[in-house]
Amino acid sequence: MDALLLGSLVFGFALLGILTRPTGALAAFWPANAVLLGVLVRRLRPTSVLAWCGAAAGFILADVVMGGTWPKVAWLTLANMAGVIVGYLLFSRIPLGHRRLLQPLSVVYLIVIVAMASLTAGLVGMVINPLLFHGSRADGLLIWFTAELVDYLVILPVILTMPAWRRPQRDQRHREFVLRLDPLKLAPALSLFLGGALGMVISGPGAVSYLVPGLLWCALSYSLFVTAVLTLLCSVWTLMAVSVGYLHLGSDFGGQYELQSFRIGVALMVLAPLAVASVMAARNELLRQLQHAATHDRLTGVLNRAGFIDQAEALFRATAGRQREFSALMLDIDHFKRVNDVYGHAAGDLVLADFAQLVNSCLRDTDVLGRLGGEEFAVLLPDVSAAVAQAIAQRICVACAAHSTLLEDGTPLISTVSIGVAHVPDVPVTLDAFLSAADAALYLAKQSGRNRVVISGDESLPAATAVP
């Protein structure tokens, strides 16, 4: 299956490149190698020999379909595969963070690996150029090296930074959390249009650099993937605008070396915004980790008290001016102090972590679970009626009573939980008052014998009567 998929992918992009190939020359745009290398690097499993054969077959089939003859097809496939193989072997030796361009020095690794892969293709080009195109070995090295370098630097970052596919959220309750388009966020992208337009008005050698400030602004404002896509579009625009005469740089690029120098310069132009975007990605990830550590309980992995209060208040603020019902659960593990006294604090930690995981498995993605301290937990349930909240609480109560935590010595330990439930059909109350009502119900549950659910203002509901 891998061989078939890779072969089909290579075949499609190779056909696209062949369509840009002038008669008797190399393709002006050859994305197949960069796409193949990017896909192989993104895979988390080693590439089999059969998969490599499938990729090679894709190159061969595309050339044959477009009328290529056998010696030429074989040599061109060798050049394509040689560079990709070297690039793949080098990428496989660096950490995953660098492969995804998520570290400050990732762009340096990218340059070195891409240069080595391009040089490998160039060395094969030294042999091919005299045989197939009656050119010199030096020109073969330069042409192949330049073409591969440009395609790799422009296309590869887009594939390496592409986010993993996630199924869109279909729950209507999530609509209010969808980010609305902010016109100010479009300003960095619009600056690229201004830079391109300025280059057509004020021509000259410096016109290529008019896009750089906008690209740097985009790198500071957008994600790494969006920045990579914008650099790809700007590079393609620059190359095409010069070729059709929209940009006048003061040279007709009649010589081979002038043309290759220009193409390399355009490709290297993308490195600065990519480096900035990589640094920003590393910074944002560090901030995310710090934020997670500040708002989550290290033992259980759920929100700590501060994180729970922040998220709950954010939900309350998001519903300001609209009618929306909420339910709250206050949970307390029964006789938890006895667990610590009899089995030790290590066993108590296992019970807490196991309990948090059990409760989380009974909740929806939209529910908010937090550890308020000790053995006390809280849950905020948006868009849940009192009856549904009662059913959820009883399900948790029954599941906890039926579950046993295995201690380090293999001893099974069963714990029960008392739960207080509060409900509001609208959100005029404060969060503190809301949680206090649930806490008062929890107190009644503890006083009524534990291992039960109490609804605020109602009688207690023993867990034995609950239906999971």
Quickly list DSSP for 90-127: HHTTS-HHHHTT-STTHHHHHHHHHHHHHHHHHHHHHH
Q: For 337-393, what is each residue's pLDDT tens digit?
A: 999 999 999 999 999 999 999 999 999 999 999 999 999 999 999 999 999 999 999
CA distance 114 to 118: 6
If you average pLDDT over residues 52-62, what whole number do you get?
96
Identity of the amino acid at 306 = A
CA distance 250 to 199: 12
pLDDT at 217: 96
Sheet with 460-462: strands ordered across: 368-373, 376-382, 326-333, 417-424, 452-455, 460-462
Computed over every residue of the chain, the mean pLDDT equals 88
Q: For 397-428, what is each residue's pLDDT tens digit?
A: 999 999 999 998 888 999 999 999 999 887 66
Whether residue 321 is predicted with pLDDT greater than 70 in this model: the reply is: no
Domains contained in the chain, CATH given: 2-163+180-288 (no CATH), 296-465 (3.30.70.270)
Identity of the amino acid at 355 = F
Which ranges in 296-385 belong to alpha helices (H)? 305-318, 336-343, 345-361
If you average pLDDT over residues 310-329, what whole number do you get?
86
More confident: 110 or 45: 110
pLDDT at 174: 40
Percent of the chain with pLDDT over 90: 68
For the CA atoms of 107, 113, 117, 122, the dihedral, rounded to the nearest 10 degrees, stands at: 80
Q: Which of 12-16, 261-265, 452-456 has the lowest mean pLDDT?
A: 261-265
H or E stretch at 226: helix 224-244
If you average pLDDT over residues 416-442, what whole number do you get?
89
If you average pLDDT over residues 70-88, what whole number do you get?
94
CA distance 5 to 182: 39
pLDDT at 168: 46
Identity of the amino acid at 147 = A
322 in Cβ contact with 383 (< 8 Å): no
Helix axes 106-128, 70-91, angle to 10 degrees: 160
Q: For 261-305, what is each residue's pLDDT tens digit?
A: 888 888 888 899 999 999 999 999 999 999 999 999 999 999 999
**CA distance to 216, 312, 329, 355, 466, per residue, from 370 (Å):** 40, 10, 10, 12, 24
DSSP state of 159: H
If you average pLDDT over residues 244-257, what whole number do you get?
75
pLDDT confidence tier of residue 463, bands split at 50, 70 and 90: very low
pLDDT at 428: 61
Percent of the chain with pLDDT over 70: 90
Q: For 155-194, what is each residue's pLDDT tens digit?
A: 999 999 999 866 544 443 344 334 445 678 899 999 999 9
